[in-house]
Structure 1
Amino acid sequence: MRLNLVNAVDAGGQPLRLSIEGAHIAATAVAGPSLDMAGARLLPGLVNAHDHLQLNAALPRLKFRASYRNASEWIADVTPRISRDPCLLEHRAAPRAQRSFMGGLKNLLSGVTTVAHHDPRGAELDIPGFPVDVPELGGWSHSLAMDGEVAVRESRRAARPDKPWIIHAAEGIDGAAAQEFDRLEALGCIAPGTLLVHGLGLTAAQQRRLIDAGAGLVWCPGSNLHMFGSTLDPELMFAAGRLALGSDSRISGERDLLAELALARELTGWGAPRLESWVTEDAARLLGLRDRGRLEVGLRADLIALPPELPLADAARADLRLVVVAGRPLYADAQLGAALGLAPVIVDGQPKALARHLVAALRATRLQEPGLDLVDHSEEAMA
């Protein structure tokens, strides 16, 4: 793909002309079409540091008591219902590749171009037409409760040193959750490259030890509040540059990363520049992804376009004017989409456009993305 984006501005509102050649940002204008962005603000594509891609689509948030003390209680409530709940059964009946695709689509529509997927890696994640990029992790375990100490220790020892190793930990508000950090530390799992997910049971002293070890934390405030009624104070981890934001899946988290970002702003009062760099450049750095997170020559052409002067934390997915993943425009406003050859769709009541191979994949599955409506073939022809 060769494309020039003209009449745009950068995150700070300065004029920006950006050219794309193949999957990367080009140094100069390219021999390809020019797209008038009408003053849109360009940002790097968003990085979602935690999701379970196969657990999204139209699945509801799950909760079977007023609140939980730790994640094990929630899992114990959910597990027996997997085999009898009609909604869960219908979702599981779809091939895993389709379920993962729907999770990728959820992320794409919210401006996410990179997802850290915390589950077994299926071949579908590496198909060129997958909606987002899903980098391979250095390794992962689910949790101490699910996997046991021996398996967790061996997983950490086997992890690649140049990529992150991820585990759910301290996910709860009781003593058992708080003790998980000490158990992981004793097992040798708190080390450079380790990323704990959730961590609301961490004390300030434990957070400092995590920082001193060169490890980090993925914060999922929506999931925490849904399950436990409280969440972590993120200031210490953020100040050390060791914090990223994750959406988690829809069975516990918010609708998408944009909703999580709005919630994070509500909880912290952080300003727009801080929030925007946090879910782009800072998140890419924490995940060890040096080829993205900034709009610089030679880096991956992962980017989003926002209406002029709209802060990212105020944006909903229908506000996004353009989403480009590795140089491929995949989601756009209707007018831009028509110029790019995308297919018309409706997102949250607004006319938008989606890459045609993604629309074809949606037509081939019974799973649905709430708020996304496909345009009838006859209507598309008339358009």
Structure 2
Amino acid sequence: MTSTPLFLANASDAAGRRFDLRVAEGRVAGSAPQPGDHVLDLAGRCLRPGLINAHDHLQLNSLPRLKYRQQPHANVAEWIADIDAQRALDPRLRANAARSKPARLLAGGLKNLLAGTTTVAHHDPWHPRLDDEDFPVRVLRSAWSHSLGLDGDAAVRAACHGAPAGEPWIVHAAEGVDDAARLEFERLEALGCLGPRTLLVHGLALDDAQQRRLVQAGGGLVWCPASNLHLFGRTIAPQALAAQGRLALGSDSRISGTRDLLDELAVARQHSMLDEMALEALVSTQAAALLRLPDCGHLAPGARADLLVLPAGLALSRARRADVELVAVDGRILLADPHLPGLDDADLLPVRLDGRPKLLHARLVAALQLEDVTEPGLDLAPALEALS
């Protein structure tokens, strides 16, 4: 759906510099207004590209964090075995499995949108629901394998070498702290699966030499620090990979990660020496480069009009979803603050998010109702009252 051209005046960037931005036909269209544009005066608010979440399992976000032992795991295989043993016993796992797949995916998309994320790398099989116009975020189509542990060497090699040209190939690897996790890098290298399109997820067991070999091969790493800390009690030192542009950030799903990508950024800040600029790159320019998304992660003319507005002066790594004042995907406003000057969109309905008034797109409200999707902290009652 093509939205009305939008002119955002008096925005500021992360450094506080003022600029204007025009959006037309879902793309950034320069900085000069045109007759008929819908004008929003941001009055100095910070305008950024929508965030890129480099790793999630969308269908698992209705679950809380789970772990069935007190001590840290040595390898993700232990955690998977614990989950498998509880599938028929834990009522939370049973309830999630009983939900329809479209509803579970929608819950994951909603989680991302509410935190300003507009593009997500979903590490699971494609589902037609992800193509629907009312799905909250753009979901990346890419080649992937789950892991050597679940798929086996032959299937991983075939998937890597059969990946379409121009797409990244993404795989969980070295997710643990033991020798078996560390040796997964050597196995992937022996299979010929380390190259410019390779993105390893987690990589917790990689030593410095293996990180260097990954960079030399042209590959990269998706860092999910909260999941690492929850399952294994530690995470990587990200400085070297980040400095070389070979690191992106992923939230993972809520079953092991944080609530959303903004919370993940806070964890990344707390467990690294990365400055704010480096942290922002992990969910914008660096993520876009590693995921081969040349029209995402920036606001240059021709880029996708994926937009995030936050209060002026608020560092991204210290923002929470209640701070989000606008999110647009392909130029269509899906979430906004009702106090945003000039906002007048009949497609937006009132809701409350973490106790604050917000506006949510009517099509998304309808989808959440239809599929009976709820989100902790999101109250649709004002929208339903407005429709009655």
Task: Normalising by structure 1, report the TM-score.
Answer: 0.96
Q: Please report how far the alpha carbon of residue 242 of structure 1 lies from its aligned counterpart in structure 2 after TM superposition.
A: 0.5
Alignment deviations for residues 289-340 of structure 1 (CA, whole Å, 9 cap, x no partner): 0011111111100110010111111100010110111111011112349622
* Contact preservation (8 Å) 2:351, 2:383: no
**Alignment match, 1:100:** 105
Q: Indicate whether 1:42 and 2:47 are aligned.
A: yes
Alignment deviations for residues 357-383 of structure 1 (CA, whole Å, 9 cap, x no partner): 11111112333211111124564269x
Alignment deviations for residues 107-164 of structure 1 (CA, whole Å, 9 cap, x no partner): 0011111001100011111112211111210x11100110111111111110113111
Q: Indicate whether 1:263 and 2:256 are aligned.
A: no
Q: Indicate whether 1:82 and 2:87 are aligned.
A: yes
Report the Cα distance in structure 1 between the residues aligned to 2:351 and 2:123, rounded to whole angstroms: 30
Q: Please report how far the alpha carbon of residue 217 of structure 1 lies from its aligned counterpart in structure 2 after TM superposition.
A: 0.4
**Alignment match, 2:181:** 177
**Alignment match, 2:10:** 7
State the one-letter code of the partner of 1:25: V
Select which of 240, 249, 256 maps to 2:244: 240
Secondary structure of the 2:21 match is strand
Secondary structure of the 2:47 match is strand
**Alignment match, 1:367:** 373
Report the Cα distance in structure 2 between the residues aligned to 1:149 and 1:277, rounded to whole angstroms: 33
Report the Cα distance in structure 2 between the residues aligned to 1:15 and 1:204, rounded to whole angstroms: 41
Secondary structure of the 1:227 match is helix
Q: Indicate whether 1:114 and 2:119 are aligned.
A: yes
Q: Which moved more, 1:237-246 or 1:274-283?
A: 274-283
Alignment deviations for residues 146-186 of structure 1 (CA, whole Å, 9 cap, x no partner): 01111111111101131110000000001110010001110
- Can you give the 5+ residue segments of structure 2 that lack an aligned partner in the other structure? none
Report the Cα distance in structure 1 between the residues aligned to 2:383 and 2:323, rounded to whole angstroms: 25
**Alignment match, 2:354:** 348
State the one-letter code of the partner of 2:268: A
- Can you give the 5+ residue segments of structure 1 that lack an aligned partner in the other structure? none
Report the Cα distance in structure 2 between the residues aligned to 1:191 and 1:282, rounded to whole angstroms: 17
User: How many residue pairs align between the two structures?
Assistant: 380
**Alignment match, 1:311:** 315
Secondary structure of the 1:206 match is helix
Alignment deviations for residues 28-63 of structure 1 (CA, whole Å, 9 cap, x no partner): 323221112122110111000000011102x11010
**Alignment match, 1:51:** 56
**Alignment match, 2:332:** 328
**Alignment match, 1:203:** 207
Q: Structure 1 residues 17 and 227, CA, compared in 2 at 3 Å: closer, same or farther?
A: same
Alignment deviations for residues 233-280 of structure 1 (CA, whole Å, 9 cap, x no partner): 111211211000000000000111101101111111322222223311
State the one-letter code of the partner of 2:350: P
**Alignment match, 2:197:** 193
Secondary structure of the 1:323 match is strand
Q: What is the alpha-carbon root mean square deviation over aligned residues?
A: 1.4
State the one-letter code of the partner of 1:49: A
State the one-letter code of the partner of 1:370: P
**Alignment match, 2:19:** 16
Q: Which moved more, 1:22-31 or 1:119-128?
A: 22-31
* Contact preservation (8 Å) 1:161, 1:193: no
**Alignment match, 2:289:** 285
**Alignment match, 1:227:** 231
Secondary structure of the 2:161 match is helix
State the one-letter code of the partner of 2:252: D
**Alignment match, 2:66:** 62
Q: Which moved more, 1:280-289 or 1:372-381?
A: 372-381
Q: Structure 1 residues 248 and 143, CA, compared in 2 at 3 Å: closer, same or farther?
A: same
* Contact preservation (8 Å) 2:112, 2:118: yes
- State the identity %: 54
* Contact preservation (8 Å) 2:350, 2:383: no
Report the Cα distance in structure 2 between the residues aligned to 1:285 and 1:334, rounded to whole angstroms: 34
State the one-letter code of the partner of 1:36: D
Report the Cα distance in structure 2 between the residues aligned to 1:274 and 1:189, rounded to whole angstroms: 28
Q: Indicate whether 1:124 and 2:138 are aligned.
A: no
* Contact preservation (8 Å) 1:91, 1:367: no
Report the Cα distance in structure 1 between the residues aligned to 2:387 and 2:106, rounded to whole angstroms: 26
Q: Indicate whether 1:152 and 2:156 are aligned.
A: yes
Report the Cα distance in structure 1 between the residues aligned to 2:175 and 2:57, rounded to whole angstroms: 16
